[in-house]
A and B are shown apart, each in its own frame.
Chain A
């Protein structure tokens, strides 16, 4: 029994090591390794957008999709897997997986996607192009200042509350930016930190009595628990703004204004296509989406009516989606 166990395991490892070396299939189409930190609607949309873009321009590539299941220590292993597969380029979606890829690969292009602060995450040393780096990618830095401005303009809030995940790199960065933006506008800012999704409701309850409006940025933890924020805010009659419109269906939010992550995926796919055409990563550098087209403005007019807030007509015109009388109207 004992011997059999040892033999079985050791031979398994051996066979794997040998066959992994020989698994190289005939290289016809370039192989792209995609390392995603966790399954999440926004990050999944990035994957889809990237594939759709490449399909639309007629680029045939093979993908290897890997997912770290939010297990940080798995990101290094995924990078190693891509290395032994000798992939042609790698895409890292979210900070830890992108960092592990940059750490392992210096010879092939590394493309990061949906990273809020690529400089702070150490992925790139500079935003200026051209540079000698093998790293390029798309940032999902939000127009935080414009978002806070809009929220203040709509609600006339004197105090803005914010729930953020202190354990997420982008959560902290966005909170600091929102704080700076609020200070600039002369509005008080009340942040509440959470460690995981189960704390979101309590954090919201803790600050709801002290704030006139709530702003939620694009951190994975709080966005995943958005229904609890929404529940507390709507019961207290406090308007809620979120920077991620992809998660608001069925919620009593007032306004959502942010990226369509699918478009971040399209931009990522565009970079992959450029690299396949022979462009150097250093020539592309870091891409920021600044075109208003890439953002979507969503309003919930039922909530606005309940709160006694009127949405200016110029804003309503630019809205992509409006909820009215329980109906979702896509413009």
Chain B
């Protein structure tokens, strides 16, 4: 239970932060994710199998993901194609590259070999096995979250954040939006690949088809997070993404667990993911509509008050 929801959810949350950066912060519908997630798993696995050490393996994995992000952003920038298409192109190419990375094989096992997830119980030997895995993963996720929070408070990070909502403003400030997109996409896919590298170690293998359907799952987690609370503070946004990721995994786990009571078979889970996204969208939209109606009312009231105040002033002058 602990592992199925929380460890899995925490590993997944790093990927969701990556999707958040492209989809929400940069406003770039990026499908590179499905490929770069598997790239991260493939690079980390091959690095571990070849004995580079675990930290190096994860660094290489995120580096490979970052390169994938740079490629997508460059295709988008140079060839002036929509981000969606650029992402699909990179994702498609990555499928072949991932198999190359895995040495021409589709699946490379990490069983009976030292990985981060066999090290955690040794490092935190005072805890039981599931808790050690949970604490180890939590530490990694918190470090990643903190770094992302700090980054988005720097000048560069703020500029990237502004780019998604108003590209024109960035241009008028004399910053090159193309460069910002490249940096943002590298960061996003670096995180996604890092998550893939962790998952490969956690589940014990890398597979060429690992990334399939990741974007949708990531979006579902982001939207569940947004359903939880409203905020425009980066530290709270990343926090709610982590919550969203865990809740998403929990819902999937519960679907497997109790689904049969309501005749839900395991093959219905993809439908469940889609419905979750739709529900979250509906809730967000009603909430937005409500808050904008609220804002309009407030604005009208303020206008009225101001006019009354002016009238009064005018009255005074006349008198």
User: A residues bordering B, Cβ < 8 Å?
Assistant: 1-2, 5-6, 9, 12-13, 16-17, 20-21, 23, 39, 65-81, 83-84, 95-96, 99-100, 102-104, 120-123, 125, 165-169, 171-172, 195
A70 to B267, CA, bound (A): 10
Contacts of B266 in A (CB 8 A): 65-69
Given contacts A9-B228, A67-B266, A121-B205, 11 further A-B contacts (CB under 8 A): A5-B283, A13-B247, A72-B210, A72-B212, A74-B252, A75-B203, A80-B1, A80-B253, A96-B107, A122-B110, A122-B204
From B3, B112, B202, B252, contact of A122 by CB (8 A) = B112
Contacts of A103 in B (CB 8 A): 110-111, 203-205
Contact digits for B213-227, partner A, Cβ 8 Å, 1 yes 0 no: 110000000001001
Closest Cβ neighbor of B214 among chain A residues: A73
From A76, A78, A84, A169, contact of B105 by CB (8 A) = A169
- Which one of B213, B229, B266 has the greatest number of beta carbons of chain A within 10 Å? B266
Contacts of A99 in B (CB 8 A): 107, 109, 111, 203-205
User: B residues bordering A, Cβ < 8 Å?
Assistant: 1-5, 8, 95, 99, 104-107, 109-112, 199, 202-205, 207-210, 212-214, 224, 227-230, 246-247, 249-254, 256-258, 265-267, 269-270, 283, 287
From A71, A74, A100, A166, contact of B99 by CB (8 A) = A166
Contacts of B199 in A (CB 8 A): 73, 76
Known contacts A2-B229, A71-B212, A122-B111; decide if A167 and B224 are in contact (CB<8 Å): no
Q: Is there contact, CB below 8 Å, between A172 and B254? A: no
Contacts of A39 in B (CB 8 A): 267
Q: Is there contact, CB below 8 Å, between A102 and B107? A: no
A154 to B209, CA, bound (A): 37
Known contacts A72-B207, A72-B212; decide if A16 and B105 are in contact (CB<8 Å): no
A120 to B108, CA, bound (A): 8
Known contacts A96-B207, A122-B112; decide if A5 and B202 are in contact (CB<8 Å): no
A5 to B106, CA, bound (A): 42
A9 to B212, CA, bound (A): 27
Q: Is there contact, CB below 8 Å, between B267 and A73? A: no
Contacts of B287 in A (CB 8 A): 1-2
A77 to B107, CA, bound (A): 18
A171 to chain B, nearest CB (A): 7
- 16 examples of A-B residue contacts, CB within 8 angstroms: A13-B250, A16-B250, A17-B1, A69-B266, A69-B270, A70-B209, A70-B212, A73-B214, A77-B4, A77-B8, A80-B4, A80-B253, A81-B257, A122-B109, A122-B110, A167-B106
Contacts of A102 in B (CB 8 A): 111, 204
Known contacts A5-B227, A6-B228, A76-B202; decide if A81 and B106 are in contact (CB<8 Å): no
Majority SS of interface residues in chain B? helix
A-B contact count (CB 8 A): 142
A36 to chain B, nearest CB (A): 9
A80 to B205, CA, bound (A): 15
A48 to chain B, nearest CB (A): 16
From B3, B104, B107, contact of A95 by CB (8 A) = B107
Q: Is there contact, CB below 8 Å, between B257 and A20? A: yes
Contacts of B246 in A (CB 8 A): 13
Contacts of B230 in A (CB 8 A): 2
B156 to chain A, nearest CB (A): 32
A2 to B265, CA, bound (A): 31
From A17, A74, A121, contact of B5 by CB (8 A) = A17
A172 to B104, CA, bound (A): 8
B208 to chain A, nearest CB (A): 4
Q: Is there contact, CB below 8 Å, between B256 and A81? A: yes
- Which one of B224, B246, B267 has the greatest number of beta carbons of chain A within 10 Å? B267
A13 to B269, CA, bound (A): 17
Contacts of B207 in A (CB 8 A): 72, 96, 169
Q: Is there contact, CB below 8 Å, between B257 and A121? A: no
Contacts of B110 in A (CB 8 A): 103, 122
Q: Is there contact, CB below 8 Å, between B270 and A81? A: no
Contacts of A104 in B (CB 8 A): 204
Closest Cβ neighbor of A14 among chain B residues: B250
Closest Cβ neighbor of B249 among chain A residues: A77
Q: Is there contact, CB below 8 Å, between A169 and B227? A: no
Q: Is there contact, CB below 8 Å, between B1 and A20? A: yes
- Which one of B107, B207, B265 has the greatest number of beta carbons of chain A within 10 Å? B107
A260 to chain B, nearest CB (A): 25
Contacts of B224 in A (CB 8 A): 9
- Which one of A5, A16, A80 has the greatest number of beta carbons of chain B within 10 Å? A80
Contacts of A67 in B (CB 8 A): 265-267
- Which one of A65, A73, A77 has the greatest number of beta carbons of chain B within 10 Å? A73
A1 to B109, CA, bound (A): 46
B96 to chain A, nearest CB (A): 8
